[in-house]
Amino acid sequence: MRIGIFGGTFNPIHFGHLRAVEEVRQAVDLDKVFFIPSGYPALKTWDLEEASHRYRMTAISVKDNPYFEVLDIECRVPGRSYSVDTLSELNAQYPDEEFFFILGIDAFIDLPEWRMPEEIIGLSEFIVISRPQYSFMDVISSPYLNPEAVKEGLLRLDGKETSIFRSSLRSGRSIIFTSLTQMDISATAIRKLLRDGKSVKYLLPQDVESYIISNGLYLARIERGQKPEGGSGLKQQKQSH
Ligand code: ATP
C-alpha cells in the first residue's frame, strides 16, 4: 500500500489540512493517509492544547473518510515527539508499505531545524504541498535538494504550467511537489479568532467547532505562564518535530 503520513500539531485541525490531504491522496494515488497529531512538550506553551484534545478533534474530522486514519503514535506518550522516531517506528511496524511524508512548503523549509533531518529524508518518500503565501521556489535553497534538478519544475508549478512535479531528494528518495486548491487557513488565525470571541464557522468541521466550545479550548491561557498577545507561540510548537 501507498500510505501518506500527515503530521502536525493540529491545534486545531482545519479545512486547510483536510482538503489538502484529500486532494493529495487523489493526485498521488495514495491508498490511505495517517494523520498524526504531535505530542505535548514537557515545557508547556501557552496556546498548545493538550494532545488528547488535538487527537480527538483530528479523530472527529477524519471519521467519515474511509481513506483517513488518525494515529496516536506521537501523542500517546507524554512529552515531545519527533518525526524521525515516528517514521522509524512506522517503517518497523509496516515493513511492506510505501510511506509518503506529506508536508506544506512552510514545514519543508523548516526541516533543517527538526531533529535529525538527514535521517528523516532517508526514511520516506516526500510530498510537498502548496500553501498560501508561499511559492514553490521558496524551497530552492533546501539542503536536501539539488537546485539545478528542481529549479525548472518549481518555476513551472509557480507559473501554474503544471500542478505536479516529481524529482528526488539528495538521499535518493523521491519527492513530489504538488499544487492544490489554496485555502488560506491557519490554526494560528483560528486560535486568535477564538480568543477574540469571533466565529470560526466554515474554517473547520462543525463537530470540531462544537468540541472546542464545549471543552472551552483556546480561551486566553494566562495561567500557562506566557503572554498571549504579541508572540504566536509558533516557534515553540514547530520545534517539536
Ligand atoms: P499553526 O498556525 O498553529 O502553525 P498550521 O495551520 O500551520 O498551524 P500545522 O498543524 O502546523 O497547522 O500543520 C501541519 C501541516 O499542515 C504542515 O505540513 C503545514 O504546512 C500544513 N498546512 C497547514 N495549513 C495548511 C493549509 N491551509 N494549506 C496547506 N497545507 C497546510
pLDDT tens, N- to C-terminus, the chain (241 residues): 999 999 999 999 999 999 999 999 999 999 999 999 999 876 657 789 999 999 999 999 999 999 999 999 999 988 888 999 999 999 999 999 999 999 999 999 999 999 999 999 999 999 999 999 999 999 999 999 999 999 999 999 999 999 999 999 999 999 999 999 999 999 999 999 999 999 999 999 999 999 999 999 998 654 444 554 444 444 444 545 7
Instruction: Please report, to the nearest 10 degrees, the dihedral formed by the alpha carbons of residues 139, 140, 146, 152 taken in order.
Output: 110
Best residue among 9, 86, 114 to mutate for probing ligand 1's pocket (most ligand atoms within 8 Å of CB) is: 9
Compute CA distances 66 → 12, 25, 33, 121, 123, whole Å: 21, 12, 10, 28, 26
Question: How far is the C-alpha of 103 from the C-alpha of 6, rounded, in Å?
Answer: 7
218 CA to middle of ligand 1, Å? 17
The pLDDT of residue 223 is 46
The pLDDT of residue 230 is 43
C-beta of residue 204 within 8 angstroms of C-beta of residue 14: yes
168 CA to middle of ligand 1, Å? 23
Cβ–ligand 1 distance for 186 under 6 Å, the answer: yes
The pLDDT of residue 79 is 83
For residue 11, the 8-state DSSP code is: T
222 CA to middle of ligand 1, Å? 25
| Nearest Cα to Cα of residue 232 among 48, 43, 8, 81 | 48
28 CA to middle of ligand 1, Å? 19
Helix-helix angle 206-215:51-62, to 10 degrees? 150
The pLDDT of residue 43 is 63
C-beta of residue 139 within 8 angstroms of C-beta of residue 126: no
